[in-house]
Chain A
Amino acid sequence: SQQGEEDPQALSIQEGENATMNCSYKTSINNLQWYRQNSGRGLVHLILIRSNEREKHSGRLRVTLDTSKKSSSLLITASRAADTASYFCATAFLGNDYKLSFGAGTTVTVRA
């Protein structure tokens, strides 16, 4: 499978703490994207990082990409209860123009 794989599967943190999750993949990519899914809802795009980028920020989100290790990480700083959700990485593989491959996700619970 070409899917990205997230680690850990689940994460529980206290409000105000940082949350870090990782994604590994197997073949060369065009870009890697992170999505959030709140319970019972559709996925929402958070951030896209291209293969020639190493780090990207968006508000309290920081994404890194290491193409030599075929891995990415998503850091959520100063977490809030509203950050409770599942987070998915999606990889856009070279030569696969129209499709994204999604991992199984990391479920993050932020405790008040």
Chain B
Amino acid sequence: NAGVTQTPKFRVLKTGQSMTLLCAQDMNHEYMYWYRQDPGMGLRLIHYSVGEGTTAKGEVPDGYNVSRLKKQNFLLGLESAAPSQTSVYFCASGRGNHNEQFFGPGTRLTVL
């Protein structure tokens, strides 16, 4: 069981470039989440999904898009990266209904 995996682990982008972060889970969880973590601010929810084919906005969705075409995968896209999107991105999955969440190792993104 790999749990929750994220690719890539690190990435450096120039302003205006695009990229996709991939999250995969092998626990058959219905719910998946994308967070960003910035110093002193804890985790903030970007987008989440309550099942295959569904997505919803979280606390800080602007500048990001997501897709959940397969139950095990949750993709986070940046169409035109900005320096304000420099952050560590975490994916998580869970059974929902206020249960615990399982986190991936994170992706450290720097936008120059």
Contacts and interface: CB of A to CB of B under 8 A. Distances in A.
Interface stretch (B13-21, B35-43, B79-87): B35-43
A60 interface: no
Contacts of B42: 3, 88, 102-105
Contacts of B90: 42-43
Interface in A68-112: 88, 90, 92, 97-100, 102-105
B45 A43 contact: no
B98 A42 contact: no
Nearest to A44: B103
A26 interface: no
A41 B100 contact: no
Contact of A104 (B31, B40, B48, B101): B40
Interface residues on A, range: 20 to 34
Contact of B104 (A42, A48, A88, A99): A42
Given A48-B100, A88-B43, A98-B31, A41 B50 contact: no
B100 A99 contact: no
A33 interface: yes
Contacts of B76: none
Interface of B: 4, 31, 33, 35, 40-45, 48, 50, 56, 58, 90, 92, 96-106
Interface of A: 3, 30-31, 33, 35, 40-45, 48, 88, 90, 92, 97-100, 102-105
Question: Which 4 interchain pairs have the tightest Cβ spacing?
Answer: A42-B103, A92-B98, A102-B43, A104-B42
